[in-house]
Amino acid sequence: MTNHDSTRPGRLRRAPENLLSAEQLAATPAQRRGFLRGAFAAASAALTAGAVRAQQADDPAIVNLPPHALALGQPVALEGYGHPSKFEANLQRRQSPGLTPTRQASVSFAPLQGLFGIVTPSGLHFERHHQGWWDIDPSQHRLMVNGSDEQMLKRPMVFTMDELMRLPSVSRFHFIECGANTGMEWGNVAVPTVQYTHGMLSCSEFTGVRLIDVLNMCGFDAKRARFVLAEGGDGSAMTRTIPIELVTSGQVLLAYGQNGEMLRPENGYPLRLVVPGVQGVSWVKWLRRIEVGDQPYATKDEDIHYVDLMPDGQHRQYTSIQEVKSVVTTPSGGQILLDKGFYNISGLAWSGRGKIAKVDVSVDGGQNWKPARLETPVLDRCLSRFNLPWTWDGKPALVMSRATDETGHVQPTYRQLREVRGRRSIYHNNSIQTWLVQESGEVKNVQLS
């Protein structure tokens, strides 16, 4: 069995007697739930009420009272941190087959196929480390703020975490997407599931101090300052140039909170930069220094990495906004539809330029499009959830989503993207994703030429 198979939700085809086989019970529970909900809805819509009742009458789960209705359960744990149900154990971050984790470089992907709504549980947030992660003692952590010269910032300061956490704080929901997300798919279909095609994407409520407030405390020269440099405290010398407009507009945060608690160590505890709409690499983790300057710093992660190889052989630099993008997470690659009938097509849309304005969904490879329902809240530079009811006729279907953001940018097809960008890039692939639902119900990653 390959690594791919371990993320497969398993076979979800409905057995004639409406019972699950042992194999089906071993399927990814979240996925099973998704499809069973669909299957039951289809059953009640398509079958006569009598047929449904007849099927249910000999269902042991209905006929026999289960143990949890007959005996005492467990009391609260005396203390401790809660965990998901043991039946959800298959819902995990996973390493992509072919990418070997080392202490120099590693990445894990979020299981988008099993998540609801827009928030990524912190324990399932994707991870990307250029030199491994650390669990840094917050009492020993410092943030230094300085200027490229003395005029640029009058009062260089070093902050402890306690000092930062005394300052006025804000909480905001934002997505973070690695610039290399979907990067394996530039030339051709490369990975089987949405976890691997799009899973370097997560969304959290971040809490922290606005960087502009700290720069104002330090007396920065608002007339001369054009960029800030952010530097991480790990060994990767992760340093990124951030345009000052993102800072002065109040968007960039020195964040210590994630989903109501402190950041997780692997996500930068105790302090990370939040740069809404910008590729993940600029969200510097274990943040230890901010410098204010008047020109881009052209660091190694801006010169030789995170550049776009264009068809004429030139490299394009500083394309850091994550452009409008979306993906259907259900049905998606590796899943198996139980039977024809009703399904809820569901997915995520996001844009580094603002809010999502609309998402259109096609089930025929882009010939016809229908507007999906955008669920609330629809927030700025945040994941948006969309849903669309669909009745599958059992024939092959090509399922796609196409997002438009509030600035009017529309997600491109692979043909449109490749006309401008070629096929040899790594970063910034925001193409429309296609999933082929085969007659067998099996869903496959495909690209339309």
Ligand X SMILES: Nc1nc2c(c(=O)[nH]1)N[C@H]1C(S)=C(S)[C@@H](COP(=O)(O)O)O[C@H]1N2
Closer CB to ligand X, residue 153 or residue 284? 284
Rule CB under 5 A: choose which of 94, 125, 128, 198 binds Mo ion: 128
Closer CB to Mo ion, residue 30 or residue 278? 278
Cβ 410 to Mo ion, closest distance in Å?
25
Rule CB under 5 A: choose which of 111, 280, 333, 347 binds Mo ion: 280
- Residue 428 as a binder of ligand X (CB under 6 A): the answer is no
What sign for the dihedral angle of Cα 100, 104, 105, 108?
positive
Q: Burial letters for 416-433: b for 16+ Cβ neighbours within 10 Å, e otherwise?
A: ebbeebbeebbbbbbbbb
Rule CB under 6 A: choose which of 39, 196, 199, 234 binds ligand X: 234
Closer CB to ligand X, residue 243 or residue 366? 243
Closer CB to Mo ion, residue 177 or residue 360? 177
Residues 276-315 that bind ligand X (CB under 6 A): 280-281, 283-286
How far is it between the farthest Cα atoms of the chain?
82
Closer CB to ligand X, residue 283 or residue 343? 283
Please state, in angstroms and rounded to a whole number, the distance separating the CA atoms of residues 157 and 144.
6
Residue 399 binding result from Mo ion, ligand X, none, given CB thresholds of 5 to 8 Å by partner type: none
Q: Which of 34, 327, 2 is nearest to 197 (CA)?
A: 327
Closer CB to ligand X, residue 105 or residue 446? 105
Contact 320, 341 (CB under 8 A): no
Residues 1-60 that bind ligand X (CB under 6 A): none
- Residue 427 as a binder of ligand X (CB under 6 A): the answer is no
Residue 421 binding result from ligand X, Mo ion, none, given CB thresholds of 5 to 8 Å by partner type: none
153-192 mask for Mo ion (x: CB under 5 A)?
-------------------------x--------------
C-alpha atoms less than 13 angstroms from C-alpha of 166 in its C-beta half-sphere: 4
- Residue 129 as a binder of ligand X (CB under 6 A): the answer is yes
Residues 159-218 that bind ligand X (CB under 6 A): 176, 178
Rule CB under 6 A: choose which of 146, 195, 267, 445 binds ligand X: 267
Cβ 200 to Mo ion, closest distance in Å?
7
- Residue 281 as a binder of Mo ion (CB under 5 A): the answer is yes
The residue behind tokens 């070997």 is 100
Rule CB under 6 A: choose which of 8, 32, 93, 125 binds ligand X: 125
Site residues, ligand X (CB under 6 A):
125-130, 176, 178, 232, 234, 236, 238, 266-268, 280-281, 283-286
Interface residue list for Mo ion (CB under 5 A): 128, 178, 280-281
